[in-house]
Amino acid sequence: MNRFTKILLGLAVVNLLAGVFFLTGIVDISRVPGLYATLPAGVVCLGMFLISFRLEEAIIASNKDQDDEVHASKVIPLSTSTSSEKSGQEEVQLDRAA
């Protein structure tokens, strides 16, 4: 996880816990009703965390696939004929000798 993803996770956890405490009445916030927005803010941060985490995984997988393709394109084949072509040539040579 990169730094931004970790920050989103931290914000989500803090806001969700604070929102639950405020809504259940464990902490009295009747004088500051704007703090009730912490629960929805926590949900939004959690959603952004999940999106960025999945996107990060997809980017890593895509980069790995591209690296594999680049590596495969740099490999030079040792021979141009396949093993089936070679065995077919050997059979023709055996038939001629007989």
Q: What is the DSSP letter of 27?
A: S
Long-range contacts (CB closer than 8 Å, 24 or more residues apart) made by 53-62:
53/1, 53/5, 56/1, 56/2, 56/5
**CA-to-CA distance for 59 and 62, rounded, in angstroms?**
5
Task: Read off the pLDDT of residues 50-95 as tens digits, 9 standing for 90 and up.
Answer: 999 999 999 998 888 888 877 777 766 666 655 555 555 555 555 5
Q: Looking at the chain, how many residues does it have?
A: 98
Q: What tokens does 7 get?
A: 């920050």
pTM of full prediction above 0.75:
no
